[in-house]
């Protein structure tokens, strides 16, 4: 099923750039700006638990700290319990596993029976998390301050440069790495269909559903029940200190996005096609062009 969807995505992606794409603005037609493309081979941060034939990928602002904590638990169980680590520990907490070559460099070729998983997050909620953490809290977003449109435009400009000239050899930009589309991560351009993609959100119910799904994968890979229960209990009990999902600032950021289709679509339009999330965005095609892309609304939602 995922292979079929991937084929449709690539077909739509091709047509998107073959045809002149326009939208109505009053009585005139205006060209739509080129959206950031999917599947640029930009960032690949893999973690492995060889004993259980598990590989995970860190996607910035998509529960990446949770991923590190879970994989460290599986990789070095004794040290995890000895030091009383928590699944809610932040990036400031020391993790010896991150210094282990075997932990951050999965063996090639990947052995038969290995399961690869990644947490994925609603693209615009992920952007809001990035914006509040890196732009508002850390003040790292260029000279934009808290001007969200400025942030989007600067991120877009830099991502556009990367997609047009990326060779995988330059240093990853701090802001761009956190804001890049999810499809730019994990070597998804090669084999996205081979990954177990687990949607996860910030509220307790969304986390619980995601962890229950992960628990099934862990059980399948022979992880003992004590460790599975540690994962289940730990993630239900708290937040990391820079979590932003319940803040007034988040509600205001989401309100701004809902009113601005430009912000909604410029960077993450294709992430909503690649990954199983839906959103109420306006399709940026005329009616004729809409029919040219083979029942776009039926496949992916409007």
CB 187 within 8 A of CB 170: no
Question: Could you report the per-residue pLDDT of 49-106, keeping only the tens digit for each?
Answer: 999 999 999 999 999 999 999 999 999 998 888 888 888 877 656 778 889 999 999 9
Task: Tell me, yes or no, whether 292 and 223 share the same domain.
Answer: no
pLDDT digits (tens, 9 = 90+) for 230-253: 999 876 654 554 555 557 889 999
What is d(CA 193, CA 183) in angstroms, rounded to the nearest whole number? 12
Residue 142, domain extent: 46-249
72 in the same domain as 17: no
Inside any domain, residue 195: yes
Q: Let me know the angle formed at the C-alpha of 185 by 205 and 179, rounded to the nearest 5 degrees.
A: 75
Measured in whole angstroms, how far is the alpha carbon of residue 119 from the centre of its chain?
Answer: 7
Task: Examine the domain organization and report whether 118 and 22 are in the same domain.
Answer: no
- Residue 275 placed within a domain: no
Q: Are residues 199 and 297 in the same domain?
A: no
Report field, pTM of the whole predicted structure over 0.85: no
Do 209 and 297 reside in the same domain of the chain? no
Residue labelled with tokens 């003040």? 139
Residue 158 predicted with pLDDT over 80: yes
Judge whether residue 6 has pLDDT over 80.
no
Report d(CA 128, CA 263) in Å as an integer: 11
* pLDDT for position 255: 92
pLDDT in tens, 127-141: 999 999 999 999 999
What per-residue confidence (pLDDT) applies to 96?
84
What is the tally of structural domains in the chain?
A: 2
Are residues 14 and 123 both part of a single domain?
no
The confidence score (pLDDT) of residue 247 equals 77
Choose among 76, 78, 82, 81: nearest CA to 96. 76
Same domain, 20 and 94: no
Asked whether the beta carbons of 266 and 239 are under 8 A apart, the reply is no
- Residues 150 and 23 both lie in one domain: no
Q: Which residue, 230, 249, 268, sits at the end of a domain? A: 249
259 lies in a domain?
A: no
pLDDT tens digits, one per residue of 174-187: 999 999 999 999 99
């Amino acid at each position: 099923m995922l292979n079929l969807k991937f084929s449709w995505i690539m077909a739509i992606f091709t047509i998107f750039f073959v045809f002149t794409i326009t939208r109505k603005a009053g009585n005139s037609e205006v060209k739509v700006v080129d959206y950031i493309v999917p599947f640029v081979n930009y960032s690949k941060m893999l973690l492995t638990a060889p004993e259980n034939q598990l590989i995970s990928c860190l996607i910035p602002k998509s529960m990446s700290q949770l991923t590190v904590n879970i994989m460290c638990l599986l990789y070095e169980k004794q040290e995890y319990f000895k030091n009383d680590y928590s699944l809610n520990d932040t990036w400031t907490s020391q993790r010896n596993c991150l210094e282990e070559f075997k932990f951050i460099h999965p063996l090639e070729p990947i052995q038969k029976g290995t399961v690869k998983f990644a947490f994925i997050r609603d693209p615009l909620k992920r952007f809001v998390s990035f914006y509040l953490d890196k732009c508002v809290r850390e003040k790292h977003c260029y000279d934009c301050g808290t001007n969200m449109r400025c942030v989007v435009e600067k991120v877009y400009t830099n991502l556009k440069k990367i997609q047009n000239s990326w060779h995988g050899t330059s240093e990853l930009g701090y802001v761009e790495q956190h804001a890049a589309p999810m499809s730019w991560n994990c070597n998804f351009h090669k084999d996205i269909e081979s990954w177990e993609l687990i949607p996860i959100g910030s509220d307790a119910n969304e986390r619980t559903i995601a962890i229950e799904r992960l628990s099934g994968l862990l059980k399948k890979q022979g992880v003992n029940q004590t460790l599975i229960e540690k994962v289940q209990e730990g993630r239900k009990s708290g937040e990391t200190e820079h979590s932003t999902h319940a803040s007034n600032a988040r509600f205001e950021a989401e309100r701004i996005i809902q009113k601005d289709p430009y912000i909604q679509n410029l960077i993450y339009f294709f992430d909503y096609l690649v990954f199983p999330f839906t959103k109420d965005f306006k399709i940026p095609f005329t009616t004729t062009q809409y029919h040219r892309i083979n029942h776009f609304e039926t496949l992916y939602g409007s």
